[in-house]
Structure 1
């Protein structure tokens, strides 16, 4: 069944899907946000940067997707709002609480190095 998750770039309506990596969304997205910090005011660029970090070096044809609509049956969703510089996490798991935090706070909390 996989470990499905998605990252939504709210400002441009881009939905990035991962079939196996929802358990690593915070780590991977925080790395992308840190790496692309100089592009936070350009959400279209950030969509590509986040997808690169989600995929890492995977060049296969399965496991990732890009859409303009919501993916159904995902376990975890990170919503990135670059206009307000916020990250919102939504989970279907009972033992995880949804949250909203600032982007800098998110990077400082989940990235190996703070900004």
Structure 2
């Protein structure tokens, strides 16, 4: 207890001896200007996937769909797959909610590297 009293007296004496610094009269105005300048800073919108990439994806998908409709093949497999009759593979039954959850989580983890790269480039 005595130690605390001595420390308190010491701090009071130090505070009284030192001159208290006063803020400049324009401090509030300067702070408000800094806040307004920070708020007015607008980042230009830049999409994650550029227009050229979207066009390339549309063209690629169009060719793929047209190719599926136009190409006919007379390919037949002459291999023997009778051993598949002896293998029993258990059937997995998942509810639609579980399928949606798996799809959501997989897409979420798929986009994390893209977002990390974007944020890394944004704040360099």
**Both structures adopt the same fold (TM-score exceeding 0.5):** no
Determine which structure has greater relative contact order: mean sequence separation of CA pairs < 8 Å that are 6+ residues apart, divided by chain length: 2
In the superposition, the TM-score normalised over structure 1's length comes to 0.21
**Which is strand-richer, 1 or 2?**
1
Rg comparison, structure with higher value: 2
In the superposition, the TM-score normalised over structure 2's length comes to 0.19
